[in-house]
Chains A and B, each alone.
Chain A
Amino acid sequence: AQSVAQPEDQVNVAEGNPLTVKCTYSVSGNPYLFWYVQYPNRGLQFLLKYITGDNLVKGSYGFEAEFNKSQTSFHLKKPSALVSDSALYFCAVRDMDDYKLSFGAGTTVTVRA
């Protein structure tokens, strides 16, 4: 079985401050990990993924995430948040031996000017 937890329903930050969105996962084997963003009335947009290799993954729009196997975490980070980063963020995991992608419940990020 596999699952994803996003412990924070909401994250509020000021523009220019660092942004972190937390994600922990559970899989029986090795994980594929993904982050998606959803803007209002839009579908999910792929940001970045971890498959193998370097634990620090860089993605679109200045976002990055660090894979931590011992803590089973894959937190999303951005050094300096923009108002336009305000959206709903989803973490997702798939066991390498499975085909189903399991999503977290999502974290709403609000960046205030």
Chain B
Amino acid sequence: ETGVTQTPRHLVMGMTNKKSLKCEQHLGHNAMYWYKQSAKKPLELMFVYSLEERVENNSVPSRFSPECPNSSHLFLHLHTLQPEDSALYLCASAGSWTGGYEQYFGPGTRLTVT
């Protein structure tokens, strides 16, 4: 798991707060992803970036705003969240967003919205 790191590991925020999640990959990959993992539900793809260009916004509410300043770093900016946004947010990276490349995941940020 040291290939993909995420900070913070835990975050509690109020509905009016603004916070950011950070992801860094040390694998030299070109693609990065944000996923949402809720209990008893399959992983939901939120955003995909390839070489810092966003290639997918999977109908995610605008209160989630991604940023990819370079191919090693990915952020998820959060504002005005709802309690149903509480979940584990996972970052992943892959050699490419196409082809048979496996994704490598970070440990996740456990987000609780109060």
Contact = CB atoms under 8 A, between A and B. Distances in A.
Interface of A: 4, 32, 34, 36, 41-46, 49, 51-52, 90, 96, 99-106
B39 to A, nearest CB: 10
B65 to A, nearest CB: 21
A96 B100 CA distance: 8
Give the interface size class of chain B. Answer: 20 to 34
B103 A100 contact: no
B43 A51 contact: no
Contact of A99 (B4, B55, B108, B110): B55
A41 to B, nearest CB: 7
Contacts of A101: 45, 103
Given A43-B90, A43-B107, A105 B42 contact: yes
11 contacts: A42-B108, A43-B106, A44-B43, A45-B1, A49-B100, A90-B43, A99-B55, A99-B56, A99-B97, A101-B103, A103-B43
Contacts of B98: 99
B102 A34 contact: yes
B75 interface: no
